[in-house]
Structure 1
């Protein structure tokens, strides 16, 4: 259901072609209206105060004040506005985008390649931008993410600005509707599916896991090529576990977090010895319009880790992961879902919770603890 209140959008881009294309798209969307435009970040910050938009579409690379500097100024002034970044498919663009997401940007989209014609480019932009704006409109916490007003749960034991400990609500068990095979005591692998809001959520959750967790973790984060490598590098700096972008035929090792490469599918298969497991990177088609796809990975885990897997479904648009969780549930996996209150977009966890596929529903600040329980006891 699309919210009835229109989202007021300020379009910021130093390139007139993109500024015009995005402005035209905003005016075509039933959920949005154009609040204004700006051709650099300094002008944009001034216009936020006067126009009071709900959302910015923000070019990441601009003269005078770039997108990162705009986000920093929004945070400094505690301006109540959401941000969708427009980025380029380059290593520099991906690194800057990871920084923008760390600073609280809601999501990002890639500018169409210059080889695309004007009509095709605008169509591609609209296909990406419309669902993002609709998801932003439904989100309870998206508008305050940059300013720090969103009320996101901090990890257990984290300290607030005043030095006090942040209380985190407890996780709650869910009734199990379907009978599953008898479980072993410990899980031997953890798999995570996540999308919109994911980089920030992973950056809060994964540091809560110990260096000696003792099992591999595989993550599907919906992202294009290049960006997943930047995400892995960013997370690796924050975590006690090693975080890396997964490679073809790479053996699964404990205490390593493997991020599925953007634009590829990732699954696990048997190694040549028939005993161990390795990562398989494929160019198979998208599933749920996603590549990498959570369902694609989750299905493969069910084939090899009966009763010995933990699956985590977290913030994100759409329903990717639900079918994979149905398979994992039938194979005795333990399933953890992020709760609605701490999701940037309560899409991917919603159906699994409603279908009672989930064993525990946990706020973001408790998910690491719940994962530890499944592999340590």
Structure 2
């Protein structure tokens, strides 16, 4: 969810001008702003553990604000797909190194996730109100670590850790990345063919989602990889399409109208998608296409219209840049506090829960995420541009040579 390692390369690496660099920064800020709105919707959708929801569900115009978690995750998936393509194709799609990008992706998300899992294991051991057994804790942590959590909960809903429920997204995101990276690698010398293959995959996934929605329990569909990865595929298709669209030199006026119209359309789409059955039907299809047009127009614009530019304001961009940590931590914090504050007023424990989530996320950013970003910025990664195997062989040879020299000349 962060653009720090998945965003477009800087002008220093692409040979772009300073103006292009500033435009790229604004575009990333816009995507971060949209993700900032999305993380707020995710947090609100899980607030049911802290506050009463009867009044909310009875009020038609308020309900979508508190029932748009799936809508928000779709935003994350489309953005992740687009930024993943940019990262994979940073040296040209025919020179892509999916293994290197995969390792960087794990190192980007992993440390923050590992910290959460370690904290939950410690708390579950000390907290008498935590009813999850030790064996179920181990199983749950293992499947989160291996990005198979969404598969596990489909058959183990009653024994899996309930405060890990939201982590299905990280599993689907990683699985979608692996699948699309494999497709891109196989088609790396046929850039137009990539679009046909991805388009066929998108149609297949869309048909399958409609099918399983009619034949399976809604919860299973909502965490099924093949029913949720199509927004990621749309994001990858957007990344693969933009180099071709740039050649058309589309009028800026048309792009401004497109970006504004697609932004405004997100409001009725949020309302429509607030019901799971509508979301799993045409809702997610309309939403992912709308987001692709919005992101695409924003990337091609030299100057965003005022309505779209509002999304790149600092508070929203800040939330978007830290959306990964907020996403990972908010639900475990909410459920922990809910267990220990049953006699508190709902507004008091809500305020404490949000404050605690923010403080923990900021601490995790300082202790873990910032260090992971520094690690991924190390010059050593440039040596891995030719692939993991040559890089590993070269580093092993270097270490072996230094060891022999130390033995010969202690």
Please indicate the TM-score interval, normalised by the length of the shorter structure: under 0.3
Higher relative contact order (CA 8 A, sep 6+): 2
Query: Computing the radius of gyration over CA atoms, which structure comes out larger, 1 or 2?
Result: 2
Report the structure, 1 or 2, having the larger strand content.
Answer: 1
Q: What is the TM-score normalised by the length of structure 1?
A: 0.27
TM-score, normalised to structure 2, is 0.25
